[in-house]
Structure formats: C-alpha cells, structure tokens
Amino acid sequence: MSALWTSERIATAVGGEAHGAFEANGVAFDSREVGPGDLFIALKGETTDGHRFLDGAFERGAAGAIASADCAHPHVRVADTTEALNALGRASRARMSGKVIGVTGSVGKTGTKEALHAALARKPGRIAHRSVKSYNNHTGVPLSLARMPMASDFGVFEMGMNHAGELAALTQLVRPHVAIVTAIAPAHSEFFPNEEAIADAKGEIFAGLEPGGTALVPYDSPHRDRLIAAAEPHAETIWTFGLGEGAIIRAREVVRELTGTIVTAELPGAELTFTIGLPGDHWVSNALAVIGAVEAAGGDLALAGLALAEMAGLPGRGERTMIRVDGGEALLVDESYNANPASMAATLKTLGEETADRRIAVLGGMRELGDKSEQYHADIKGPIEAAGVDLCILVGEEMAPLADALGSGTEFVHVPGPSEALDVLSDRIRPGDAVLVKGSNAIGLARLVEALTSGKIPCST
C-alpha cells in the first residue's frame, strides 16, 4: 500500500520546500497523538507553539514534519503552518474521487457521523473515512481531510460552529456531495440573537455542495423552510427527513422494543425496515438522516440498516455501561461530553423509558446559552418530571435556577463540582438504578464517569 503522504507530495500541496525525504501514513498536530510513521504539523496557537514539541514528536516516531522554523529532522518548510494544514486538507480532498458527506447540526452530528461511517464501511472492499472524535472546527476539519486515504470510496466529515461564517469556510474545504443538518436547537446561543440565526449559520453547509449535490433537512424542525431556502441555490436535490406526513424520507412506523427501535421508513422509490440499537426518539431522526445520505451517496441501504442495529453509544455521547455497586450492578449512561436544552430534554426522556428500579440524573450546567441561560436551565424541570426521575444531582453554579424551579418536588442535591457529585452518588446509588450523567464538557463530568467505570465507588468484593 502506498504512503498517505510523501515529502514531495506534501511540498507540492502546501507550496513548501522539502528538507529530507520521508513517507508518512498519518497526520497529527498534537505531539501527544503522534505515532510511528506520522506527519507532525507544528501549529502556532495563541498560547503554545508546536515547534517546541518537534523533538518529542520525532521521539514518538514521527516520519516528518511541516514547520515554519528551524527543524533538525526531515520536514517541509513553509511560511505558515496553519495555512499549510488547510492546503494539505484541500489537496487531500482534491485527489479523492469518492463521495463526501458533510454533517452539521446543533445536536446529533457526532452520532450521525459515526453511524454513517459504520453504514458505508460495512460493504467489503469499500474504504470509508471519517473525522475522528469531534474534530469539527477550523483545525479539526482540515486535519481530518489530510488523514483521508486517496483511495477512499466515502468520506464523512463533521462540521461545527459557534459563530456565523465558520461553516461557510469549512464547507468549502470539505466540498460535500451530500450535506446534512441534523437539527436546530439553542446551542451556542450566547453568540446568536435567536434560533433563526443559528439555523442560518447551520445552513451555510449547503453553500459548499458539489454540483448535483443533495441536501438533507429535518422535516419536523420549525426552521425547515429556512434551511430549504438556504439549500435551494446550491443543491440539485433536497430531501427532508422526519416523522411528519410530508417528509420525503419518513418513518411510517416506529415500534419500540427492549432490544431496540424498529423503524419502517419510506424513501424515494424504496422502503426499508431496520432496527436502531440505540434508544431515544432523537435516534429515529438521526437514523433517517443516515439512510437518506447512504441512498444519496450510492451506498447499500440493507447494510446501513444492519449497521444501525449494531450501533453503540460513544464515550461521553450515550455510551451505556453496567457498573458494579455494593450488592450488584447499575446502568450508567454517559452523556458527559456536551449539553444544550434540546439534548438535555431528549436524554432525560430516554432515561424515563429505562426499565430500572430508580432513575438518577447527574446534570451539569449548559454553557454558551447567553442571557437566556437561567430560563433554559429552569425549564429542564419539565423533562425531569416527565421522566419520573427519582433523584437529581445538580452540578455547578449554572444549575441554581433549576434547583430553585424543582423546589420541594423532585428530590435533588445541588453541589459545586464533579467530586462532590461523586460523593453524593456513591452514598445513594443502589443495584438496579439507571444513572444518566450529562452536562457541558467544561463542567468536567467525564471525571465522574471515569471514577464510576473504574470501580472507585463502594462495591462488593
């Protein structure tokens, strides 16, 4: 198999000068993630400079580097390493002749991206590439592109934003054949005057569509028509997906069982019945977007259905684990990576549908909600009560309005941080409980999850 990049190809792509010949099979800009045979890109940031870590990257096995300063190792010299990263991403996209799918949305984009990759990679002999983790910003997207093998049949890229104009730049790098907006919700609303502005910013993804491209728009969203209007100048085909009668890709029947959710979906000229392994109404919508994109990209619908049945939650994004507690086991649902009002309501609804002796919600604050933050937090009371939550452990100062709203109804404890939440949970958790952990990543609830899954709570020996 030929190398992902050679020093000669890199120099051509980024307009740099090669110093020493090398071949690389991976790309990284975090020296801690460098593995044997990787290309290390020494980015300069506001607080750090990747050139300080060049020696460490080569100690970890880097084959070569892109640098804008003196380097004692094989490298390609450029004037600006950030511009070089973008150029390398563009070059990678240009040399790939397969189908590219771009995914954005206020909620559900990472799960949808992962499900799409699983669906497209399932066919033997097909190469499907995706962005890893949540590498969806101005550095993560070009990095994910640069990592894409030239022979890829499919590329799936997640694109995020928290300001207007960001997606417009990212989608021109990705140049998708299929572009998806999963949903619109008040995420990052600190930076936008209203949800309509968020929808407009998400709709920027359609401006990068390749000629003949397909736009996928959530039918049941109140911003559907706004998104369709954004897609119309750029998309040859616009498909809506959802449960509503007028959706082009529609869930005609949804049956929830213990082993998963069975969906019968109608598509243009086809019908598909499949099972979704992950719980929650939001996954029905995500799955419809997935099968729509697979159809538009020329993938195999039957294999996509099988992939959806086998989907498991990601760490921080719905991963489900049985943890040992004193006298038995409890279910832990890890949603610690991110939170906004829509995703908080959706996961609480899923918690309410769990078969459990008790339902416990460990909820951290939701960040970047602007001047409506207090009201958004207080409004979580409704989903908590509807889910029949037995105990809420509220984490962080942002949760004070919710504590006030709950009053003497649902039992709750309000604590300042994850360590105090762990102390409360350690005292209260029992076998047969279902525990949801959800909050914005900055709250640090991942540390609580790590403690629970590593057995750092009272348990039988």
Per-residue pLDDT of the chain (461 residues), as tens digits, is 689 999 999 999 999 999 999 999 999 999 999 999 999 999 998 888 999 999 999 999 999 999 999 999 999 999 999 999 999 999 999 999 999 999 999 988 999 999 999 999 999 999 999 998 778 999 999 999 999 999 999 999 999 998 899 999 999 999 999 999 999 987 666 788 899 999 999 999 999 999 999 999 999 999 999 999 999 999 999 999 999 999 999 999 999 887 789 999 999 988 999 999 888 888 999 999 999 999 999 999 999 999 999 988 888 888 999 999 988 999 999 999 889 898 899 899 999 989 899 999 999 999 888 888 999 999 999 999 999 999 999 999 999 999 999 987 789 999 999 999 999 999 999 999 999 999 999 999 999 999 999 876 654 43
Task: Quickly list H helices, 15-162.
Answer: 54-59, 81-95, 109-121, 140-146
The CA-based angle 127-133-135, given to 5 degrees, is 95
Displacement of CA 359 from its chain's centroid (Å): 26
Q: How do beta strands 64-67 and 75-77 pair?
A: parallel
Long-range contact pairs involving 260-263 (C-beta distance under 8 Å, separation at least 24):
260/309, 263/287, 263/288
Look at residues 120, 121, 171 and name the one whose alpha carbon lies nearest to residue 142: 171
Compute the distance between CA of residue 69 and CA of residue 50 in angstroms, rounded to an integer: 10
The ranges of the chain annotated as CATH 3.90.190.20 are 319-453
96-309, CATH topology level: UDP-N-acetylmuramoyl-L-alanine:D-glutamate ligase (3.40.1190)
Compute the distance between CA of residue 356 and CA of residue 358 in angstroms, rounded to an integer: 5
Q: What is the pLDDT of residue 276?
A: 94
Q: How do beta strands 154-158 and 128-130 pair?
A: parallel
Residue 208 CB neighbour total at 10 angstroms: 22
Q: How does 184-193 read in b/e, with b if 16+ C-beta sit within 10 Å?
A: bbbbbbeebe
Q: What is the pLDDT of residue 190?
A: 74
Query: Is there a contact between 439 and 365 (Cβ–Cβ < 8 Å)?
Result: yes
Name residue 388's amino acid: G
Look at residues 264, 239, 261 and name the one whose alpha carbon lies nearest to residue 251: 264
| Predicted model pTM | 0.84
Compute the distance between CA of residue 438 and CA of residue 317 in angstroms, rounded to an integer: 9
Look at residues 246, 239, 233, 250 and name the one whose alpha carbon lies nearest to residue 215: 239
Compute the distance between CA of residue 363 and CA of residue 414 in angstroms, rounded to an integer: 10
Q: What is the pLDDT of residue 82?
A: 96
Two tokens, residue 66: 């892109």
Look at residues 339, 329, 341, 345 and name the one whose alpha carbon lies nearest to residue 435: 329
Q: What is the pLDDT of residue 459?
A: 47
Quick one: 295 exposed, middle or buried, by C-beta within 10 A (0-12, 13-18, 19+)? Answer: buried
Compute the distance between CA of residue 293 and CA of residue 278 in angstroms, rounded to an integer: 19
Q: For residue 30, what are the CA distances in angstroms to 27, 50, 134, 244?
A: 9, 8, 15, 44
The ranges of the chain annotated as CATH 3.40.1190.10 are 96-309
Q: For residue 269, what are the CA distances in angstroms to 129, 292, 293, 326?
A: 28, 12, 15, 54
CATH among 2.40.110.10, 3.30.450.20, 3.30.750.200, 3.40.1390.10 for 5-82: 3.40.1390.10
CATH superfamily of 319-453: Mur ligase, C-terminal domain (3.90.190.20)
The ranges of the chain annotated as CATH 3.40.1390.10 are 5-82
Query: Is there a contact between 409 and 384 (Cβ–Cβ < 8 Å)?
Result: no
Q: What is the pLDDT of residue 1?
A: 60
Q: What is the pLDDT of residue 456?
A: 61
